[in-house]
Structure 1
């Protein structure tokens, strides 16, 4: 008696049929006899797809196998042995013993091992002239500052602009106790083209301890920028263009330790003061952020001068004269705002009508004037700072 072993199953096949099931019509009769259905199409109702080992191994050329693997509904991809033996034994056999998933797992493992061997060979070749990524990573200190920095310089000739870039690295070994290695890369590009590697160098033939390799790092930095490592924030952008320039990280990113004398914020204020003096002495153009800052200060200063002059005259001259002066002050402020670049249009002009109202406005503007005048305070206390010894970054 034939049992309904294929009940609620929809079976499809791909490729050639085996000798003991020579045609699709024969397969349909076998499935129908066992309460199943053999489909000529691979649609959403199919639960099992039958194929041979050769067809599965060559699945890149078989559309049905790829469609079954990528479909939303899980389809068992099994060998013809599952179908044949289930019919012979009059029992639905477990798919996992005939599923090609095991073959798929073996293929993925084989590919992973091959890819791993290729990666190791590639990194080993890199390690002959540079640093093997399988053995080293970029060193970071306790502030999470990465010791990978860029130095830039731009020069020009009759052929156009030449841009140069040094990338400085301090590597730390994965293994413990840690070993360290300093390395540098040189890049060139013409005008707005693509960066090309022009040189790779490791100053030491073998890795060493942190102190020695960090000294190599800061010596190379000073050689190319003429700035000592702990002055990198205070003196950033204040040297001649024949030297390379280092731009410290901004927007709250880690800047590293070993800075001279003060915290980062104070060093940054001193750097701005140096840049302004440098521009006054040599006529160099200030960075865009400093130009914007100076323009805003000038606008605020003009507005506060006008307001203070108006308040002072209002207190001294009285209502009638102050009304006349208020019209003149409003026109002056409006004209000044319209002439300056980036100034907002003055929408409202207020006329002071009595002494009581003028006192209220003066009291309201006093905090604003105090805050604004504080913006003009310059920090010129750079003299008298003691030089620090070379400092080694603390490991994270």
Structure 2
């Protein structure tokens, strides 16, 4: 129905062609939908073809795939939405997005949820014999080497394979799990499973299991896998390291049996003269003493200190001065040299040097400074009083003892 004369045309659903998949409700007949479309600038269609932009359907009609839904599914640009989209557009008087009302999107979300649930169920069933790959991932070390190691061996008919895995948990703190699969032939859908630990453990435990299994199957230690790459032992599997600049993993120290101590071969070449052995003790070179509080000009030699203090000790022993000896003993005890170790058995006496001079004094506290200031003030006042007494003493004597007035001070006072 066209708008009345004088009324402004509504273009809420302009350029939209609407169709229905069937009965949508008591008030949603085809005539009602056609009338609403004409009021809001849309076009109504009785058939579903390439021109239809929106098909109104119920979830049951979409699930049952009625004929109108099947036809709309053939066209990608045709939106299959619920009647709520059409009603909300008319209520709010604007063209709303179709995604929240799309039955296609609802079906995609439902299928994705179903796939996740099936995957989780398979992972749980798989975890009974292997490792739950949903909650764990392949471990990678600091070089980004993936701990999914392939071992191969040529069998009687097929190439046999072992795949070693070291898994790391997604959650923190990380736990680890070692497991292995054995494929007796290519495309073996039921490989053998080896998993020594029923539950995840710390890295050191599971990595030790990983390395031990590698040693049993290849005859090589894990840390020798690069140095002895290509080595094939009888009845053992072979490991081929990654090539083309790919990470090969961390290489630790070689196995203990591979460590050899180099020896000097004296069978060839000139004979070297043997060093003469002597019972003399090695002479100790003078070592410079570090004075942490003094300037470089005041650095001394430890031997000079020993000689000087030793001579003074002998003199003081003769004089019986025990306090000086105690001071010298502390002075020597606090001696630190550049070569003295900072830790270990010989570092028990590693304390900073402080060579005290006679003129150096200990810093005074605030209380001591205040007391000293008060004493100085008292001395100053006493000295001032004493000076004034000396100045007025002659005048007092001249007044009260005229006989002793030798300088004529009385006459001056009387004038």
Give the TM-score range, shorter chain: 0.5 to 0.7
Larger radius of gyration: 2
The 2-side partners of 1:177 and 1:135 are apart by 13
Q: Secondary structure at the residue paired with 1:169?
A: strand
Q: Secondary structure at the residue paired with 2:119?
A: helix
Structure 2: where are the runs of 5+ without partners? 263-415
Q: Which residue of 2 aligns with 1:326?
A: none
The 1-side partners of 2:229 and 2:243 are apart by 13
The 2-side partners of 1:166 and 1:195 are apart by 12
Deviation, structure 1 residue 220: 1.0
- Render the CA deviation track for 1:180-233: whole Å, top value 9, x for unaligned: 2211111011xxx53344410111233222222111111111111111112112
The 1-side partners of 2:89 and 2:249 are apart by 70
Q: Which residue of 1 aligns with 2:70?
A: 63
| 1:163 aligns to 2:163 (yes or no) | no
Aligned pairs for 1:102-141 (under 5 A) are 107-141=107-141
Q: Secondary structure at the residue paired with 2:166?
A: strand
Tell me, yes or no, if the aligned pair for 1:59 and 1:65 is still in contact at 8 Å: no
The 1-side partners of 2:216 and 2:155 are apart by 18
The 1-side partners of 2:118 and 2:138 are apart by 23
The 1-side partners of 2:139 and 2:65 are apart by 46
Q: Which residue of 1 aligns with 2:45?
A: 39
| 1:49 aligns to 2:48 (yes or no) | no
Q: Secondary structure at the residue paired with 1:165?
A: strand
Tell me, yes or no, if the aligned pair for 1:28 and 1:38 is still in contact at 8 Å: yes
Deviation, structure 1 residue 50: 3.2
The 1-side partners of 2:152 and 2:178 are apart by 19
The 2-side partners of 1:131 and 1:256 are apart by 23
Q: Which residue of 2 aligns with 1:11?
A: 17
| TM-score normalised by length of structure 2 | 0.50
Deviation, structure 1 residue 57: 4.0
Tell me, yes or no, if the aligned pair for 1:186 and 1:198 is still in contact at 8 Å: yes
Structure 1's 47 and 140: CA in aligned 2 closer, same or farther, altered over 3 A?
A: closer
Structure 1's 9 and 184: CA in aligned 2 closer, same or farther, altered over 3 A?
A: closer
Which of 199, 202, 206 is equivalent to 1:209? Answer: 202
| 1:228 aligns to 2:221 (yes or no) | yes
The 1-side partners of 2:94 and 2:243 are apart by 62
- Render the CA deviation track for 1:72-109: whole Å, top value 9, x for unaligned: xx7574528947996xxxx8855649987166555554
Q: Which residue of 2 aligns with 1:199?
A: 192
Tell me, yes or no, if the aligned pair for 1:10 and 1:45 is still in contact at 8 Å: no
Which of 172, 175, 200 is equivalent to 2:171? Answer: 175
| Structure number having the greater strand percentage | 1
| 1:246 aligns to 2:239 (yes or no) | yes
Tell me, yes or no, if the aligned pair for 2:181 and 2:192 is still in contact at 8 Å: yes
| TM-score normalised by length of structure 1 | 0.52
**Which structure ranks higher in relative contact order (CA pairs < 8 Å, sequence separation ≥ 6)?**
1
| Structure number having the greater helix percentage | 1
Structure 1's 78 and 181: CA in aligned 2 closer, same or farther, altered over 3 A?
A: closer
Deviation, structure 1 residue 58: 3.5
The 2-side partners of 1:93 and 1:152 are apart by 69
Structure 1's 207 and 94: CA in aligned 2 closer, same or farther, altered over 3 A?
A: same
Tell me, yes or no, if the aligned pair for 1:149 and 1:167 is still in contact at 8 Å: yes
The 2-side partners of 1:84 and 1:178 are apart by 50
